Amino acid sequence: MREEHLMKTCSETDTKGVLKIVEDVLAGNIRAVARLIRDIDNGRPETRSTLKALHPHTGNAYVLGITGAPGVGKSTLVDQMVRHLRKKEKTVGVLAVDPSSPFSGGAILGDRIRMQRHSTDQGVYIRSLATRGQFGGVTQSTIAAIDVLDAMGKDYIIVETVGVGQGEIDVVKSADTTIIVVIPGMGDGIQAVKAGILEAGDLFLINKSDKEGARRTLMDLTTMIEMNPDKYKNGAWKPPVLMAEAKYDKGVVALLNKVEKHREHVKFLPASLKRQYNEERTRTELTEMIKKRIVEDVLKDLALSGELKNAVDAILDGTKDPYSACDELVLPKIRVERT
């Protein structure tokens, strides 16, 4: 039955190749998963057939989003979380979203050094992905990679994103539980209000809590959450604020316990609220997919027709400004789509 579904959803020209990749991913073949995620990150169009075939096998993993400003200790925290989840015999996938290299477009840091003690563990898969210049670090590639690790059979998928202000909340698009990490002495309390992070976080963690100002940061975040009591009426989830020292494995178990409480809370939401929650997430992911597809198709068409080069030449020659060139290239295509 499963094979019949895969055959229908795969491209007719490469059914056998796609079917082999899908079967390898479902079997947990690490090399097949690595190649597929690499091809996804590189934007290879043939991966769409594979992702279509994998989609019915997703929806089982629990996705944790870890975000916060650079230097708050996210990688160290993730490393400790993985260790404790493995003690419970849970399989874990980690997607560490790094800034892109301005030269190659790839992730600068590569697989995180702090997590390398898990590199020989067959129950852990760690992969770095590039932001490709997208703020918040959550790209269509990230969403697709989550699906691959989900289909692979991972119990938990941890997405660690680069924190860049307002964009930090992008991680919510793909996470079941979003953890906002801050540290004392960085003005994170005020920044949280500016960036709207209070709306995004399910859990707040003050890491490096041995530093001066930890209690003040705890009070600031707690007060800001308490300032909106109506939001947490009728059994709505109220984000807890926790303290930890991830480097010394202090507070990590307590954090994971709160993650499980949030998971149980979401699990027993009324059907209408659960559908609303899933609808918002699905709409966001579909919107990202649509935007990526439109941009790729339009740019490809402009490049093949020579219109893009002509516009660039006109701008360089000074006969046209870039704004007019953009309108002349894009508006006709939008009108065609509408008709």
Nearest-5° Cα angle at 58, 55 to 61: 160
Cβ atoms of residues 299 and 308 within 8 Å: yes
Alpha-carbon distances of 161 from 16, 99, 142, 263, 287, rounded to whole Å: 35, 9, 10, 21, 20
Beta-carbon contacts of residue 92 (< 8 Å; ≥ 6 apart): 82, 85, 86, 123, 124, 125, 154, 155, 156, 157, 158
**Interhelix angle 47-54/140-152, nearest 10 degrees:** 50
User: Going residue by residue through the chain (339 aa), what tens digit of pLDDT does each one get?
Assistant: 555 555 555 545 468 888 999 999 999 999 999 999 999 888 888 899 999 999 999 999 999 999 888 888 998 999 999 999 999 999 999 998 865 444 444 444 444 555 667 777 889 999 988 655 444 445 678 889 999 999 999 999 999 986 645 445 566 667 999 999 989 976 555 555 555 667 778 999 999 999 999 999 899 888 888 887 777 777 789 999 999 999 999 999 999 999 999 999 988 888 887 888 788 778 878 887 888 788 888 888 999 999 999 999 999 999 999 999 999 998 887 765 555
Number of Cβ within a 10 Å radius of residue 93: 27
Alpha-carbon distances of 156 from 9, 60, 94, rounded to whole Å: 27, 9, 8
User: Domains in the chain, please, with CATH?
Assistant: 1-57 (no CATH), 59-266 (3.40.50.300), 279-338 (no CATH)
Longest dimension (CA), the chain: 66
**Is this prediction's pTM over 0.85?**
no
Amino acid 91 reads T
Amino acid 147 reads D
> How is 23-80 classified by DSSP, letter by letter?
HHHHTT-HHHHHHHHHHHHTT-TTHHHHHHHHGGG-S-SEEEEEEESTTS-HHHHHHH
